Amino acid sequence: MTSNEASAALILSLLESLEPPEGEDWVSMAAVLDPMDSPFSPVSRAAVYVYDADGVSGVGSLDIMALDPSLRTYLESLYQPGEAWPTRLLIQISRVTGDYEITFEDSDTSRWKITPANLETIHDELRPSV
């Protein structure tokens, strides 16, 4: 599988595993995934924000177990065995245009981290620009 096919499969899997807030008619989303190269699960943590047409955000959730195979395939299409995976992935999707962007963070474990200090502002930082 090429990396383009693997990224398309990852996006589809992400959308299928998304559980948006009840009643939320979302137009874009941002997901932060903390991958780990483990035989048990390639996702150690996930955070999801969805945005409506007015830009108002809500917190969604992901079925991490459903996402695992496509994330593993995607990362294995980009990295050689034994090569370190990124510490975080930011995946931003526009439901309106179908555009998406996957951004890697290779070393800064605090980037895109949700903390009590940024709880009220992180959703704006993660807002998709695609």
* Token pair in block for residue 29: 């989303």
Number of domains observed in the structure of the chain: 1
pLDDT of the chain, 130 residues: tens digit per residue: 888 999 999 999 999 999 888 766 899 999 999 887 666 667 778 889 999 998 888 899 998 888 888 998 999 999 998 898 898 999 999 999 999 999 999 999 899 998 999 988 998 999 998 7
Tokens 């070393």 locate to 107
Q: What is the pTM of this model?
A: 0.90
Residue-range definition of the domain harbouring residue 109:
3-126
The CATH number of residue 111's host domain is 3.30.500
The one-letter amino acid code at 16 reads E
Distance (Å, whole) CA 94 – CA 85: 25
Residue 112 contacts residue 32 (beta carbons within 8 Å): yes
